[in-house]
Every structure is written in structure tokens, then in C-alpha cells.
Amino acid sequence: MAEKLKIISLGGLNEIGKNMYVYEYGNDMIVVDCGVGFPDDDMYGIDLVIPDVTYLEKNKEKLRGIFLTHGHEDHIGALPYVMDSISAPVYATALTAALADIKLEEHGNDSKVQMVTVKAGEKVKAGCFNVEFIHVNHSIPDSVALAIKTPVGVVLHTGDYKIDTTPIGEDIIDLARIGELGKHGVLALVSDSTNVENAGYSLSERRVGVSLDEQFKDCRDRIIVTTFASNVHRIQQVIDCAVKYGRKVCVTGRSMENILRIATELGYMKIPAGVIMDINQIKNQPRDKAVIISTGSQGETMSALHRMAFSEHRQIELGPGDKVIISASVVPGNEKTISKVIDELFRRGVQVVYDRGSLLHATGHACREEMKLMLALVKPKYFIPVHGEHRHLELHGAVAKEMGVKPNNVIIANIGDVIELSGRSIMVHDTVPSGRVFIDGIGVGDVGNVVLRDRKHLALDGMVVVVITLSSQDGELVSGPDIVTRGFVYVKESEALIDQLKTLTVEAVESCAKRRITDWSGIKNAVRGRLSDYLFAQTKRNPMIIPVIMDI
């Protein structure tokens, strides 16, 4: 039986983020992207979420390369963690490679990773695969789609893309090459689904520049602009407006400082001499001659904007005479955090511009008409929507069917599904180990679902610790019980409840003695069960109960 091409998602399906896709044929395998996800509200203490790469570790001798489509966290952020357990050359365009190198260096494994810089238009041979980098527009420069030539046909993996006919500082997406591929025949299109719910076409980045100019014109306030640090073109347009209106610019926020340095070194940003000002000089600059470009468009606690809003920034204090422009859309889940920052800015007398109607942000993802154009150009036999929650995948699949892809040739997959395809068929044939690995501090994977469940339990209901001392000779209660609570009730106002818990504990211990239960596990279970039933009956709460037994 002839080999089939396998396409496996280890992340990026039924979620926004954590993008990682495996292409496998025979004894060869490549990986597209290596991204992180961000924790949900109930993932207490978790910093980042990365894909489970058990399948890669088991097949690392097959791995011929990792190909990165662009430099966003959800496509490169897991690289330092993944490269601890596997080894393969990493292929990326210049800006993407530079951003990945920073992450690898911070993690201390940059010397172990072979980073190969490529340009759009180049091709890389990796085992039986031949991968071509194709220029696309996105909200970060140097973004590419990948045309992956396999023994069974060509697969076009779009990465994150939009069709911007008037981009800033770069060419329009290479529709000519994409159309040429479609003319010669594309077996499968694996495509970004993020904005499928939005009809029409995405806003051009150049239109945002017009809106920014309107905000700068005739403004006498100090202007603070916050946006995604990776949006080099947006930052360039802010600097252009500052130059036009005779303002100096300072940058605050570590990621913003890094991107400014890297993009300038690589030639993606052009900043006239004397425009950038040291942040320590900002107090000496007249308000109508100053612009601050800041991180914190999502209200992140440690970001520069958050620190400015809550008077925690060492160099900048905001108040009347300041105008904050939030040039970013709110990522789902961040509504509360950014609202908290905006409220605090209003309390300080700051003018805040954040209305979506002001056209101060342009998405980096294709809207529905752009998706249709992509499908019309590529004319794929098979269609696999990725990069989206389940509704996005289903809706994108419906668009593909509308554009002529046969219903049976559209695959809505789950993480870990093995999609097998050839020139004659496509189907989900199997599954591989997949899921989420949690990053907590320097710990990778040492926090699992059981620990998260306990953290959630503690956060919602608190805990009760019961300490008793038993005689090592006869098991009789020698002292205690002592009751310690955290996050459950205020002890000084609940003395009657605490006294009853002590009484119930004594009864449980005595009951165990009568039934000749002497092992500590049995006694702890008895105490836990008695107290749990009582507390739920009295408070309708279910705190974590931790019996502690000592013997003398």
C-alpha cells in the first residue's frame, strides 16, 4: 500500500494560540510553527501553555526541520521549551529568526539550536519535503505562507495572513505565486480561520495611519500610544506622525524596546536621527512635543501602561494633559483587565481614545471575502481549516464548500487527529498523544490537571487544616484537635463553627478507635468525611479539608 501524507495538529484547533502542525510522510517529518497559548482564568498560577510534544519526542529521528511562519508568540513562543527535548534546524525569515533567538537566549538554549534564516521566495529541502516561503501580509513583517511539496502533492499552509492592497513598508501578499500554485494544482489548503465571522475585507494598515494623524493634528496634550509590540508597521506610523508634528518619541516596555531595536537593525523601521528620546528625559519635554509608545494594550499587570495608570512607573506619571490612544483590539478574555486600566486612566483625568469606530486598529487576519479569494486562487482539492475555535473551523469549512470544495473533502479536525491524505482520499485515521503542558515559573509540565483542580478548589472554597496528636502506644487522642482555616471563614467571627468542628473531629477519632481503625489513612478519611458533610450542610461550601496526624 502506498504511503499517505499525514497532517497532525498538536495545537491551534478549537483554540486561538498554541499553533503547531506536523507533516509526516514515511520516515520524514517537518513541523510548522511552535507556539504558546495563554492560560484561562481558571488556570491558577499558570504562566503559559505549550503543546504536548510527546509524539515528536518519540519520532525525533524523523524530524527534518521546524518552519516558522512569523514571529508572534502563538507561533514561536514554545520553541525554547520544545527544543529542550528535540533537535532539528529551525527555518525562519529574518525578523522571525531574530525574535526566536531572543526567546532561546533568555531560556539558555540558543547555542543548541541551528537557526537558518531564509527569504520569501526561497525553497528548503527537508527530507522528502520541499518547502517554499511565500510572502503574505500580517500584523508583523516577514510573515510567510508555506507551499509544502510532498510526494502526494502540494499543500499550501497559509499561516496568519490578510490581503492588504496598501501595506506599510512591504509588498502586497504574493497573490501571483499563490495563483500560479493553484493553476498547477494544490492538493490541500491549510488555512487561518480567525476572522471568518467578519464579513467583507479587513482594514488596511495604511488607513490606521490616517486615523492616527487625525489624533495628532492640533493636539496639545502629551500623547501615549499603546499597541502590540510586534506591530512594527503601527509603531512606524506613530513615529511618522510624531516627526510630522514635531514631537520627540520615547519607548517604554521591554518587548517594545526589543522590537524597536531589532526592526531598526534589520531595516524594517526607519527612524530619523534625533527623534528617539531617552525615557529619563521625558519630564523635561513639553507635553505638546512628546509621544510615548508603550506596551500594555491588553491591560497586562506588569506592562508599561498598567504601571503608568497605577503610579507604579518610575519615570512617567499620567494625569490631566495626557492623551492615551489604545491602538489595538481586545483579545477575548482580556476585557476586564483593559477595562480596569481605562477606568483608572479616566480617574486621573486622562483623555482615553479606545473606540473601535475610531479606526485605530487593523486586524492581521483575513476576513471572509479574503478567505474566498484565497480559495478561488488556490482551488484546493482538500481543505483543512486551522487557527480557530470550533465555530471558526466550522464556518470556514462552510466557506470552502461555498467556493466549490466537495463537502467530503473538508476536514474539521481536533488536536491530535491524524489526517491521512493522498491524491484519491482524505480521512481522519488515528490519533496521537496531544494536549496542554503547563508552564509555572521554571516548572515545565510539573503542574497537571490534579494540581490545577486543587488550586481551583482552594481558590473557590478555601481550606481547613485539622491537627490532632495521637498516642503511639494505644492510638488515644493526646491533644487537639487544632483547627486552622485559610480562605474559608474569618475565625474570630466563627468560633461556634470552629468549636463544632473540633467536637466532630473528636467523635470521628473515637469512632475509629471503637471500630479498631488504626491506620492513619482511615482516620484521616473519617475526619475528612465527617467535617465535609457538616460544613456543606451549614455553609453550602466545600473547602479542602486536610487532616494532619502526629504521634507521641
User: What pLDDT, in 10s, does the model give residues 308-324?
Assistant: 999 999 999 999 999 99
Q: Rounded to whole angstroms, how far apart are CA atoms 203 and 458? A: 45
Instruction: Let me know: does 74 contact 115? Beta carbons within 8 Å.
Output: no
pLDDT of residue 62: 96
Alpha helix (H) residue ranges in 85-163: 94-107
* Cα distance between residue 357 and residue 333, in whole Å: 21
- Asked if 548 and 479 touch (Cβ cutoff 8 Å), the reply is no
Task: Decide if 221 is catalytic.
Answer: no
Q: What confidence score (pLDDT) does residue 541 get?
A: 82
Beta-bridge partners for 324: 224, 352
Low-confidence ranges of the chain (pLDDT < 50): none
> pLDDT tens for residues 251-271?
998 889 999 999 999 999 999
C-alpha torsion sign, points 209, 211, 212, 216: positive
Q: Supply the pLDDT for residue 516.
A: 81
Q: What is the pTM of this model?
A: 0.85
Cβ atoms of 487 and 458 within 8 Å: the answer is yes
Whole-number Å distance between alpha carbons of 344 and 315: 18
Sign (positive/negative) of CA torsion 486, 456, 48, 198?
A: negative
Mean pLDDT, rounded, of the chain = 90
d(CA 125, CA 76): 21
Q: Evaluate the CA torsion angle 96, 97, 99, 104 in order and state its sign.
A: positive
365 noted as active-site residue: yes
For the chain, domains (ranges, CATH) are 5-200+363-444 (3.60.15.10), 205-355 (3.40.50.10710), 462-551 (3.10.20.580)
All residues at 6 or more sequence positions from 519 whose CB lies less than 8 Å from its CB, including other chains: none
Three-state secondary structure call for residue 394: helix
* Among 164, 192, 240, 461, the one annotated catalytic: 192
Task: Spot the catalytic one: 70, 365, 387, 396.
Answer: 365
